Amino acid sequence: MTISSAGHKILVFYGSYRSDRVGIRLAHYITRSLAARGAAAELVDAKEIGLPILDRMYKEYPAGQAPPKLEVLATKIKAADAFVFVTGEYNWGPQPGLKNLTDHFLEEWFWRPAAIVSYSAGRFSGVRAGTIWHHMLSEMGMVVVSSTIAVGNISQTLDEANNVTGAGGASLERAFPKFADDLAWWTEASCNQRKKEAPPY
């Protein structure tokens, strides 16, 4: 059974700053695939936004005085129903660009589900960074769904047009429906609960 994502506002975050970015293909694929299920999915590219290294969190600015791009992003995060984090792996850890963007906010993330998609050029598929993200997102007030997607040999899985290719692409196509169903279930549950009762803090 496919669980509908219709009406869900989902932000898909991607954080590589490298000049030759291949993981962006996966971020586009996830965004497009969620939209095909009826979600209002939007890609948030940390490099495109270009936040500075964290000095002051959004909440630490007086009301109305945050930099415009920080204000715009905060508004999008607060309005979202769920999040997807597409992460590569640098030296067993998360990409600093995505981590930096995420750390600019805290309460804005609360009481929504988050899902993790990892990738790498090799066979380990970025799972070590993905595991670290589980802990961080949970600490930041999100409910991290158990289903994940991990893509190895990223350049052989999605082509330059962000379309699946080869055995890796076929595997990604098989994995996506369960991942999306898990996220949709938790998204619907959290939306209903917030309508029923305000979060405790």
Q: Please state, as a whole number, how many other Cβ atoms lie within 10 Å of the Cβ of residue 183.
A: 26
One of 3.30.1360.120, 1.10.8.80, 3.40.50.360, 3.40.50.300 is the CATH number of 9-195, namely 3.40.50.360
Radius of gyration, CA atoms only, the chain = 16
Looking at residue 6, its pLDDT comes to: 81
Tell me the pLDDT of the chain (201 aa) as tens digits: 688 788 999 999 999 999 999 999 999 999 999 999 999 999 999 999 999 999 999 999 999 999 999 999 999 999 999 999 999 999 999 999 999 999 999 999 999 999 999 999 988 999 999 999 999 999 999 999 999 999 999 999 999 999 999 999 999 999 999 999 999 999 999 999 999 999 988
Taking the C-alpha atoms of residue 128 and residue 100, their distance in angstroms, rounded to an integer, is: 18
Q: Which amino acid makes up residue 22?
A: V
Angstrom distance (rounded) from CA 97 to CA 127: 18
Q: Give me the amino acid identity at 148.
A: T
Alpha-carbon span 139 to 46, nearest angstrom: 21
CA 53 to chain centre: 20
